[in-house]
Amino acid sequence: MQIPRLHPDTIEEVKLRADIVDVVSEYVVLRKRGKDFVGLCPFHDEKSPSFTVSQTKQMYYCFGCQAGGNAIKFVMDLGKRSFAEVVLDLARRYQIPVQTLEPEQRQELQRQLSLREQLYEVLASCAQFYQHALRQSQGQKAIEYLQSNRRLQEETIQEFGLGYAPAGWETLYRYLVEDKRYPAQLVEKAGLIKPRKEGGGYYDVFRDRLMIPIRDVQGRVIAFGGRTLTDEQPKYLNSPETELFSKGKTLFALDRAKTGISQLDQAVVVEGYFDAIALHAAGINNAVASLGTALSLEQVRLVLRYSESKQLVLNFDADKAGTNAAERAIGEIAELAYKGEVQLKILNLPNGKDADEYLREQTPENYAQLLANAPLWLDWQIQQIIQNRDLKQATDFQQVTQQIVKLLKNIANSDTRNYYVSYCAEILSLGDTRLIPLRVENLLTQISPPAPTYSKPVSAKKAWGGSEKSPLPTERSLLEHAEALLLRIYLHCPEQRQVIIDELEERDLQFSLSHHRLLWRQILETTVEQEDFTLSVRVASRREVEGLISTLQNKYLELSEDLGLVSHLFHLNEKTKKEILRTPQVVQAAIACMDLVMLEKRYRHFLELWQQTDPETEPEKYQSYYQAFYAEKLKLQKIDRQRLFSITELL
Instruction: List, in order, residues 6 or more apart from 96 with CB less than 8 Å away.
Output: 10, 13, 14, 17, 90
Predicted local distance difference test score (pLDDT) of residue 449? 47
- Angstrom distance (rounded) from CA 221 to CA 244: 9
Q: Is residue 26 part of a domain?
A: yes
Closest by CA position to 291, among listed 326, 247, 334, 335:
247
DSSP strands (E only) in 199-330: 202-204, 209-215, 221-228, 236-238, 267-270, 287-289, 311-315
* One domain for residues 537 and 616: yes
Look at phi and psi of residue 388 and say left if phi exceeds 0, alpha if psi is from -120 to 50, else beta: left
Closest by CA position to 239, among listed 202, 191, 287:
191
Helix (H/G/I), strand (E/B), else coil: 137: helix
Q: What number is the average pLDDT over the span 371-393? A: 92
User: Which pLDDT band holds residue 164 (cuts at 50, 70, 90)?
Assistant: very high
Statement: the pTM of the whole predicted model exceeds 0.75: no
* One domain for residues 516 and 627: yes
Q: What number is the average pLDDT over the span 617-634? A: 79
- Angstrom distance (rounded) from CA 570 to CA 572: 7
Q: Is residue 458 part of a domain?
A: no
Query: What angle is formed at CA 578 by the lines to CA 572 and CA 584, rounded to 5 degrees?
Result: 105
Q: Is residue 622 part of a domain?
A: yes
- HSE-up (13 A, CA, CB side) for residue 319: 5
Q: Is residue 426 part of a domain?
A: yes
* One domain for residues 253 and 239: no
* 132 or 568, greater pLDDT: 132
- Least confident span in 236-250, 252-266, 528-542, 612-626: 528-542
Confidence check: pLDDT of 520 > 60:
yes
* One domain for residues 230 and 253: no
Express as a percent the part of the chain with pLDDT over 90: 32
Which sign does the torsion angle of CA 627, 628, 632, 635 carry? positive
Residue 440 near residue 425 (C-beta atoms within 8 A): yes
Q: What number is the average pLDDT over the span 15-22? A: 84
- Least confident span in 140-144, 260-264, 421-425, 574-578: 574-578
Residue 303 near residue 288 (C-beta atoms within 8 A): yes
Predicted local distance difference test score (pLDDT) of residue 463? 31
* 587 or 266, greater pLDDT: 266
* One domain for residues 493 and 517: yes
User: Which pLDDT band holds residue 111 (cuts at 50, 70, 90)?
Assistant: low
Q: Which domain holds residue 65?
A: 8-110
CATH code: domain of residue 361: 3.40.1360.10
Confidence check: pLDDT of 373 > 80:
yes
Predicted local distance difference test score (pLDDT) of residue 537? 42
Predicted local distance difference test score (pLDDT) of residue 536? 41
Which sign does the torsion angle of CA 545, 549, 555, 558 carry? negative
Residue 264 near residue 312 (C-beta atoms within 8 A): no
| Count of beta carbons in the 10 Å neighbourhood of residue 175 | 19
Residue 136 near residue 190 (C-beta atoms within 8 A): no
Q: Is residue 461 part of a domain?
A: no
- HSE-up (13 A, CA, CB side) for residue 550: 21
Residue 181 near residue 172 (C-beta atoms within 8 A): no
77, 110, 143 - which closes a domain: 110
Confidence check: pLDDT of 469 > 60:
no
Predicted local distance difference test score (pLDDT) of residue 103? 59
* One domain for residues 342 and 393: no
Residue 372 near residue 315 (C-beta atoms within 8 A): no
Q: What number is the average pLDDT over the span 429-437? A: 88
Residue 159 near residue 219 (C-beta atoms within 8 A): no
Closest by CA position to 85, among listed 18, 19, 9, 3:
3
Residue 545 near residue 491 (C-beta atoms within 8 A): yes
Residue 38 near residue 53 (C-beta atoms within 8 A): yes
* One domain for residues 213 and 328: no
Confidence check: pLDDT of 539 > 50:
no
| Count of beta carbons in the 10 Å neighbourhood of residue 150 | 18
User: Which pLDDT band holds residue 584 (cuts at 50, 70, 90)?
Assistant: confident
Q: What number is the average pLDDT over the span 50-56? A: 87
Predicted local distance difference test score (pLDDT) of residue 193? 96
* One domain for residues 442 and 513: no
Closest by CA position to 361, among listed 353, 371, 373, 372:
353
195, 214, 245 - which closes a domain: 245
User: Which pLDDT band holds residue 252 (cuts at 50, 70, 90)?
Assistant: very high
H helix intervals, 469-618: 475-492, 497-507, 514-530, 533-538, 542-559, 574-579, 583-612
Show the 3-state SS of 613-647: CCCCCCHHHHHHHHHHHHHHHHHHHHCCCHHHHHH
Q: What number is the average pLDDT over the span 471-486? A: 68
110, 136, 153 - which closes a domain: 110
Q: What's the Cα-to-Cα distance from 5 to each of 82, 102, 168, 573, rounded to whole Å?
A: 12, 8, 46, 35
User: Which pLDDT band holds residue 228 (cuts at 50, 70, 90)?
Assistant: very high
Integer-rounded Cα radius of gyration of the chain: 32
Q: What number is the average pLDDT over the span 452-462? A: 33
* One domain for residues 516 and 588: yes
* One domain for residues 61 and 128: no
Q: Return contacts of 95-102, CB within 8 angstroms, 24+ apart.
A: 96/10, 96/13, 96/14, 96/17, 97/10, 98/6, 98/10, 99/6, 99/7, 99/9, 99/10, 100/4, 100/5, 100/6, 100/7, 100/10, 101/4, 101/5, 101/6, 101/7, 102/4, 102/5
* 102 or 182, greater pLDDT: 182
- The mean predicted confidence, pLDDT, of the chain is 82
Confidence check: pLDDT of 110 > 70:
no
- Least confident span in 47-61, 175-189, 222-236, 264-278: 47-61
Preceding peptide of 234 cis, ω within 30°: yes
Q: What number is the average pLDDT over the span 158-169? A: 96
Confidence check: pLDDT of 369 > 80:
yes
Predicted local distance difference test score (pLDDT) of residue 236? 93
Q: Is residue 397 part of a domain?
A: yes
Compute, in degrees rounded to 10, the torsion defined by CA atoms 116, 122, 125, 129. -140
Instruction: List, in order, residues 6 or more apart from 87 with CB less than 8 Å away.
Output: 6, 10, 11, 14, 72
Query: What angle is formed at CA 132 by the lines to CA 128 and CA 138, rounded to 5 degrees?
Result: 140
Number of domains within the chain: 5
CA 274 to chain centre: 29
Q: Is residue 378 part of a domain?
A: no
Residue 71 near residue 90 (C-beta atoms within 8 A): yes
Q: Is residue 485 part of a domain?
A: yes
* One domain for residues 105 and 126: no
Residue 252 near residue 237 (C-beta atoms within 8 A): no
- Angstrom distance (rounded) from CA 578 to CA 236: 60
* One domain for residues 262 and 239: no
CATH code: domain of residue 69: 3.90.580.10
Q: What number is the average pLDDT over the span 618-626? A: 80
